[in-house]
Amino acid sequence: MQNKWAIISFTKSHKRLFLRWWIKQIWIIPGIVILLFSCEKERFLTGDSVSLTFSCDTVIFDTVFTTIGSTTKYFQVINPYSKALMISEIYLAGGENSNFRLNIDGLKALQLENIELPAGDSLYVFVEVTVDPQNQNSPMVVKDSVVFITNGNFQDIDLVAWGQDVHLINGEIVQTQTWINDKPYLVYNSMLIDSMQKLTLDPGVRVHFHRNSTMYIMGSLEIHGTIEEPVVFQGNRLESEYAEIPGQWGGLYFLNGSVGNIIEYLEIRNGTSGLHLGNLYSEKEPPDLIISNSIITQMNFAGISAINAKIDASNCVIADCGFYGIVLTTGGEYEFNHCTVSNNWKYFNRVTPTVLITNYYNLNDTEIFTGKLEKASFGNCIVYGDMETEIGFDKVGEGSLNYYFDHCLIKVDTSEVDVSDPMRYNNVFINNAPGFIAIDSMNFQLDSCAFVLDKGSQEIGMRFPNDILGNSRINDPGPDIGAYERSDDQ
């Protein structure tokens, strides 16, 4: 019995010791909690002088068309300290009524709270905007801001967008009408000028095309720009970083049956094919076009491409296109006078000449279409670029290939092209640098020592007495070759 009670007594003794130990721990635990809490507080930098730094103070959207969302812009929020920061709140000042939208470090939100920003780290805020139509012609400004609160310190980044109302052409079949110069036209999901209908554009009209959109012409198109107010066709991305990017939209596509087309003073930029005429599998009359005093630049494929069409072009500049400046296939009738065709494409290695003339069209190596090239004449033209040969000829079968260069400056490999053939060439100049003022900035006007000065045909110059800028060609010993005449005022 004694041993039994001794065991029990020993157990109770240990219980009392454990109880005393546990009571002590109760007093220690709050201290540990307080200590941990203090450490947690010390993890973040405190004080109302703490401030974030930003990669910019204002996010600006330059010309956002109404109803069409903008590109995405962003700014960086930086913790410049060696300790973490707790950003109490990030929010869009305009809230749900704002035209702007935010994505804060991957989260779409108008407001976020308690954002931890580790020492020396940063986060990104992405911004988009959609401007509501205001039924006005002049640009409008839309503003808001993104607010940051850190340790009670308020900071903000301004958001500014210039909005522009537009005439929206959304996949429409257009009947006879005139587009006036009040506010821009935005083509979305392409458009078609219907058969037997005519679209006329007044001076100064600006037409913007959304990605992959094209103007198809079954009827006829008349563009009446002027020196002072040219008509402009380009994409709808107007940010400076898109100014020289090709392939942003389709182009103008004249289908068979489209006749009576006239273009004066048009600038076409940054598409896939600036002007394309003709289509396969059609018994309709080939399309025709008279174009003058126009500029086509930075097309992903070609400036002008044609399938058995009729083109009369004068005082035109066609420059920096991915494959061809001009490609004429499957026959047709073409005349180019006082045109400057230059190609210094910089986006990939170009292996095709800037001018290609053929009597056939190869459809994906599955079918070849041929036609009779009645005429392809070039008078007082420049054909130049950064390749050894910038003019190519090709034909299949016995089809004709009637081309002629008169008083032109051309760049060719004379071992491959017989420029002494009088049936093809008359008074041509081979491989001399034309003398452009600045190719890199696409200024194809002529410097004071340009090789092509006064070397054009007088007869052709008399037919086109003024250049693309209105300068006279008949006031000096001879017309300059190309679209530009060097004037004493330059």
| Mean pLDDT, rounded, for 325-331 | 96
pLDDT value for 3: 43
Residue type, 93: A
| Mean pLDDT, rounded, for 238-243 | 85
* Whether the predicted pLDDT of 244 surpasses 60: yes
Interval 90-120: pLDDT, tens: 999 999 999 999 999 999 999 999 999 999 9
Cα 162 to its chain centre, rounded Å, is 18
* Whether the predicted pLDDT of 33 surpasses 50: no
pLDDT value for 37: 44
Q: CA-CA distance, 132 to 126, in Å (whole number)?
A: 20
Nearest to 320 by CA among 304, 342, 340, 339: 342
| Mean pLDDT, rounded, for 114-128 | 96
- Model confidence band, residue 7 (pLDDT cutoffs 50, 70, 90): very low
Beta bridge partners of 158: 58, 145
This prediction has a pTM of 0.83
pLDDT value for 407: 98
H or E stretch at 69:
none
334 token code pair: 């073409």
Three-state SS string across 92-136, please? ECCHHHCCEEEEECCEECCEEEEEEECCCCEEEEEEEECCCCCCC
In sequence order, what are the residues at sequence separation of 6 or more whose Cβ sits closer than 8 angstroms to the Cβ of residue 283?
256
Distance set, CA 292 to CA 206, 338, 343, 355 (Å) = 18, 10, 20, 18
Q: CA-CA distance, 274 to 295, in Å (whole number)?
A: 10
Q: CA-CA distance, 480 to 483, in Å (whole number)?
A: 8
122 token code pair: 């940063």
Q: What is the mean pLDDT of the chain?
A: 91
Least confident of 70-84, 129-143, 338-352: 129-143
The values of phi and psi at residue 37, to 5°, are: -65, -40
In sequence order, what are the residues at sequence separation of 6 or more whose Cβ sits closer than 8 angstroms to the Cβ of residue 146?
90, 91, 92, 93, 102, 125, 127, 156, 157, 159
- Model confidence band, residue 222 (pLDDT cutoffs 50, 70, 90): very high
Distance set, CA 311 to CA 291, 383, 398, 482 (Å) = 8, 17, 24, 18
* Whether the predicted pLDDT of 29 surpasses 70: no
* Whether the predicted pLDDT of 132 surpasses 60: yes
Q: CA-CA distance, 148 to 78, in Å (whole number)?
A: 12
- Model confidence band, residue 62 (pLDDT cutoffs 50, 70, 90): confident
Q: CA-CA distance, 340 to 314, in Å (whole number)?
A: 9
In sequence order, what are the residues at sequence separation of 6 or more whose Cβ sits closer than 8 angstroms to the Cβ of residue 117?
52, 77, 79, 84, 85, 86, 87, 123
Cα 168 to its chain centre, rounded Å, is 19
Q: Return the higher-pLDDT residue of 3 and 237.
A: 237
* Whether the predicted pLDDT of 240 surpasses 90: no
Q: Return the higher-pLDDT residue of 212 and 62.
A: 212
Least confident of 216-220, 374-378, 412-416: 412-416
Q: CA-CA distance, 20 to 5, in Å (whole number)?
A: 23
* Whether the predicted pLDDT of 42 surpasses 90: no
- Model confidence band, residue 24 (pLDDT cutoffs 50, 70, 90): low
pLDDT value for 32: 43
Number of Cβ within 10 Å of residue 155's Cβ equals 17
| Mean pLDDT, rounded, for 11-29 | 51
Strands 153-164 and 140-150 come out as antiparallel
C-alpha Rg value of the chain to the nearest Å: 35
- Model confidence band, residue 69 (pLDDT cutoffs 50, 70, 90): confident
Nearest to 276 by CA among 230, 348, 332: 332
421 token code pair: 């053939």
Interval 274-307: pLDDT, tens: 999 999 999 999 999 999 999 999 999 999 999 9
The values of phi and psi at residue 5, to 5°, are: -65, -30
pLDDT value for 118: 96
pLDDT value for 295: 99
| Mean pLDDT, rounded, for 465-474 | 97
Least confident of 13-27, 187-201, 400-414: 13-27
pLDDT value for 203: 99
pLDDT value for 2: 42
| Mean pLDDT, rounded, for 74-100 | 96
In sequence order, what are the residues at sequence separation of 6 or more whose Cβ sits closer than 8 angstroms to the Cβ of residue 210?
68, 186, 187, 188, 189, 235, 236, 249
* Whether the predicted pLDDT of 36 surpasses 80: no
pLDDT value for 43: 81
pLDDT value for 6: 40
pLDDT value for 9: 42
* Whether the predicted pLDDT of 10 surpasses 50: no
The answer to whether the CB of 204 falls within 8 A of the CB of 240 is no
H or E stretch at 73:
strand 73-78
| Mean pLDDT, rounded, for 428-445 | 96
Strands 198-201 and 220-224 come out as parallel
What proportions of the chain, in percent to the nearest 5, are helix, strand and coil?
A: 10, 45, 45
* Whether the predicted pLDDT of 157 surpasses 60: yes
